[in-house]
Structure 1
Amino acid sequence: MAADAIVLGAGIIGVSTALQLARRGKSVVLVDRRGPGEETSYGNAGLIQREGVVPYGFPQQFGLILRYALNNRIDAHYHWRAIPHVTSFLAKYWWHSNLSRHQLIARAYAPLIEHSISTHNELIEEAGAQDLIARNGWTELFRTSAKRDGELKEAARLRQEYGVTFRELTSADINVEEPDISGDFVGGLKWEDPWSVRDPYALTMAYVRLFEKLGGRVLKGDARSLSQTATGWRMVAGEGTVEAKDVVVALGPWSDTVTKPLGYRFLVGVKRGYHMHYGTRVGAKLNGWTMDAEKGYFLAPMNQGIRLTTGAEFALRDARKTPVQLERAEAVARTVFPLGERLDPEPWMGARPCTPDMMPVIGQAPRHKGLWFAFGHAHHGLTLGPVTGQVIAEAIAGEQTLIDISAYRPERFGA
Structure 2
Amino acid sequence: MRSAIVLGAGMAGVGTALHLQRRGWSVALVDRGEPGRETSYGNAGIIQSEAVEPYAMPRDRATLWAIASGRSNDVHYALRHLPRHLGPLLRYWWHSSPRRHAAASRAYATLIAQAAPEHAALIEAAGAADLVRQGGFRILHRGQRAMEAAVADAERLGARHGLRVRAMSPADLAAAEPALKQAGAGAIHWEDPWSVRDPGALVSAYAALFARQGGTLLRGEAESLGQTARGWSMRTADGMIEAEAAVVALGPWSPVLLRRFGYRIAMVEKRGYHRHWRSARTLEVPLLDAQNGYVMAPMAAGLRLTTGAELAGPEAAIDPVQLARAEAAAQDLVDLGAPRETVPWSGTRPCMPDMLPVVGPAPRHPGLWFQFGHGHQGFTLGPASGRLLAEAMSGEARFVPDAPFAPARLAAA
**TM-score band, normalised by shorter chain:** over 0.9
- Which secondary structure does the structure 1 equivalent of 2:337 belong to? strand
Aligned CA distance change for structure 1 residues 287 and 215 (closer, same or farther; 3 Å): same
Q: CA deviation at 1:183?
A: 2.7
Instruction: Indicate if the aligned counterparts of 1:277 and 1:306 stay in contact, CA closer than 8 A.
Output: yes
Counterpart of 1:389 in structure 2 is: 386
Match of 1:328 among 325, 328, 341: 325
| Pairing 1:86-105 to 2, within 5 Å after superposition | 86-105=85-104
- Which secondary structure does the structure 2 equivalent of 1:41 belong to? coil
Counterpart of 1:193 in structure 2 is: 192
Q: CA deviation at 1:74?
A: 2.2
Query: C-alpha offsets along residues 371-412 of structure 1, whole Å, 9 cap, x if unaligned?
Result: 100000000001001001111111111111211111011111
CA distance in 1, matches of 2:80, 2:294: 25
Q: What are structure 1's unaligned runs of at least 5 residues?
A: none
Q: CA deviation at 1:93?
A: 0.8
Instruction: Indicate if the aligned counterparts of 1:253 and 1:352 stay in contact, CA closer than 8 A.
Output: yes
Aligned CA distance change for structure 1 residues 50 and 184 (closer, same or farther; 3 Å): closer
Instruction: Indicate if the aligned counterparts of 1:3 and 1:242 stay in contact, CA closer than 8 A.
Output: no
Identity %: 48
Match of 1:407 among 393, 404, 408: 404
**One-letter amino acid matched to 2:180:** I
- Which secondary structure does the structure 1 equivalent of 2:244 belong to? strand
CA distance in 1, matches of 2:151, 2:97: 21
Query: C-alpha offsets along residues 223-257 of structure 1, whole Å, 9 cap, x if unaligned?
Result: 11111111110111122101000110000000023
Instruction: Indicate if the aligned counterparts of 1:105 and 1:357 stay in contact, CA closer than 8 A.
Output: yes
1:310 aligns with 2:324: no
Query: C-alpha offsets along residues 7-29 of structure 1, whole Å, 9 cap, x if unaligned?
Result: 00111111111111112221110
Counterpart of 1:361 in structure 2 is: 358
Instruction: Please give the TM-score of this superposition, normalised by the length of structure 1.
Output: 0.97
- Which secondary structure does the structure 2 equivalent of 1:29 belong to? strand
Match of 2:375 among 375, 378, 383: 378
CA distance in 2, matches of 1:304, 1:218: 26
CA distance in 2, matches of 1:184, 1:242: 56
CA distance in 2, matches of 1:104, 1:392: 21
Match of 2:346 among 346, 349, 372: 349
Counterpart of 2:279 in structure 1 is: 280
Deviates more, 1:55-64 or 1:182-191: 182-191
Counterpart of 1:132 in structure 2 is: 131
Number of aligned residue pairs: give it: 412
1:246 aligns with 2:245: yes
**One-letter amino acid matched to 2:53:** V
1:340 aligns with 2:318: no
**One-letter amino acid matched to 2:198:** D
CA distance in 1, matches of 2:195, 2:307: 17
**One-letter amino acid matched to 1:28:** V
Q: CA deviation at 1:318?
A: 3.0
Deviates more, 1:61-70 or 1:243-252: 61-70
- Which secondary structure does the structure 2 equivalent of 1:77 belong to? strand
CA distance in 2, matches of 1:229, 1:404: 31
Deviates more, 1:63-72 or 1:227-236: 63-72
Query: C-alpha offsets along residues 280-332 of structure 1, whole Å, 9 cap, x if unaligned?
Result: 14xx2311111111111110000110000111111123322111111111011
Note the aligned Cα RMSD (angstroms): 1.3
**One-letter amino acid matched to 1:377:** H
**One-letter amino acid matched to 1:322:** D
- Which secondary structure does the structure 2 equivalent of 1:287 belong to? coil
Counterpart of 1:45 in structure 2 is: 44
| Pairing 1:289-300 to 2, within 5 Å after superposition | 289-300=286-297
Deviates more, 1:41-50 or 1:88-97: 88-97
**One-letter amino acid matched to 1:224:** E
- Which secondary structure does the structure 2 equivalent of 1:189 belong to? strand
Deviates more, 1:77-86 or 1:123-132: 77-86
Q: CA deviation at 1:184?
A: 5.4
Counterpart of 2:156 in structure 1 is: 157
1:122 aligns with 2:121: yes
CA distance in 2, matches of 1:295, 1:100: 28
Instruction: Indicate if the aligned counterparts of 1:47 and 1:194 stay in contact, CA closer than 8 A.
Output: yes
CA distance in 1, matches of 2:105, 2:42: 25
1:211 aligns with 2:213: no
Aligned CA distance change for structure 1 residues 413 and 152 (closer, same or farther; 3 Å): same
**One-letter amino acid matched to 2:284:** N
Deviates more, 1:93-102 or 1:352-361: 93-102
Instruction: Indicate if the aligned counterparts of 1:3 and 1:29 stay in contact, CA closer than 8 A.
Output: no
Instruction: Indicate if the aligned counterparts of 1:198 and 1:302 stay in contact, CA closer than 8 A.
Output: yes
Query: C-alpha offsets along residues 88-137 of structure 1, whole Å, 9 cap, x if unaligned?
Result: 11111112112222112101111110000000000000000001001000
Deviates more, 1:28-37 or 1:204-213: 28-37
- Which secondary structure does the structure 1 equivalent of 2:388 belong to? helix
CA distance in 2, matches of 1:166, 1:196: 16
**One-letter amino acid matched to 2:328:** A
CA distance in 1, matches of 2:234, 2:337: 47
Counterpart of 2:84 in structure 1 is: 85
Counterpart of 1:145 in structure 2 is: 144
- Which secondary structure does the structure 2 equivalent of 1:332 belong to? helix
CA distance in 1, matches of 2:14, 2:47: 16
Instruction: Indicate if the aligned counterparts of 1:363 and 1:409 stay in contact, CA closer than 8 A.
Output: yes
1:5 aligns with 2:4: yes
- Which secondary structure does the structure 1 equivalent of 2:218 belong to? strand
CA distance in 2, matches of 1:110, 1:285: 32
Counterpart of 1:226 in structure 2 is: 225
Counterpart of 1:73 in structure 2 is: 72
**One-letter amino acid matched to 2:368:** L
**One-letter amino acid matched to 2:84:** H
